[in-house]
Structure formats: C-alpha cells, structure tokens
Amino acid sequence: MTMDAEEVVEERQIDPVTLQVIGGELDTIAQEMGHKLIRSAYSSIIRESEDIGSGILTAEGKQIAEGDFTPMQVGTLIASVEGMFETFEERGQDPDEVINEGDVFIHNHPHYGAAHSPDIAVITPVFYEGEHIAWTATNAHHLDIGAATPGLAVDLE
C-alpha cells in the first residue's frame, strides 16, 4: 500500500524541522545531479545554457525535488516518467515486473513527455532493501541526435 507524504509524516511522526532538513537535502541532491551533468557534458548547449532538468520522483512519478536550471525544463521529468509508464501500459507490461534494480531508461519521444526529440531523459529507479521507492531523472537538450542534417531533428527534404 502506497502512502502519500502527509500519511508518512503522520505515521512516522516526523517533526517539521526534520521534515525541512530532509526536504532541503533532497533539493540539494537534485541540484547536484544537474551540476554533475553540466560538468560532464560534451554539449555546449548543456554546459553553457544549462538546458537541463534534474530531479527525484516517487515510485508513482510524483515530483519530490527538482534542480533549478532552465525554466523550459521545469516539470518535464514528471511527463517523461508518466510517458514511460504509458509505454509500459501500451505494451501490456506491468511496471512492477519490468523495472529492476540497476535499470536505466532513456527516452526522447515528444508524445511521451519530451518537449521535442533533442530533449533526452535518463530515468533510473531507486531501490531500498529490494523495494522500488523512487526515481532519479535528468533531461537534457542535445544539439545533434543523428538526424539528416547536423543540429536538426527534422528531415528538410
């Protein structure tokens, strides 16, 4: 049975100060995920424009924390995870049976969460003691994804 945040706080009797400390740490982790992506990127649009998103989501795909990078990427991780779940459903797959520890999902489908094809999401399940408890995800705009013309994701002919 999955509980929402208020039920967890109530059941575990987390005081407001502890809750704020935990929330601050989760925000810091999401921000640091983005910084690591920027520092390791070969793409100038990622390094210079910081056209990325980074965050932590619940196992159900609800956002817990998000880095504050380009405004165009805010909230896109939720749509990407929802699109991934939709793909599982269309394929007749149960996410609980398909998702395993160590998996990494990559997608850029505009109809399943990406704003457009050059926005590529990398989504990783987080497990604790064998239970899938969360997702970490990044989304980044890539200049060249292998289209007919360098730098464009369309065929101009």
| Residue type at 61 in one-letter notation | G
Structure tokens at 14: 């987390």
- Classify residue 99 by its DSSP letter: -
Q: What are phi and psi of 127, to 5 degrees?
A: -115, 145
**Residue whose structure tokens are 């983005």:** 34
Whether 136 shows a pLDDT value over 80: the answer reads: yes
* Cα 83–chain centre separation: 11
Give alpha helix (H) positions in 68-135.
76-90, 95-98
Largest CA-CA distance found in the chain, in angstroms, rounded: 62
pTM: 0.80
The domains of the chain, with CATH numbers, are: 5-141 (3.30.450)
Whether 74 shows a pLDDT value over 90: the answer reads: no
pLDDT score recorded for residue 152: 61
106-119 pLDDT per residue, tens: 988 887 777 777 78
1: pLDDT confidence band, cut at 50, 70 and 90? very low
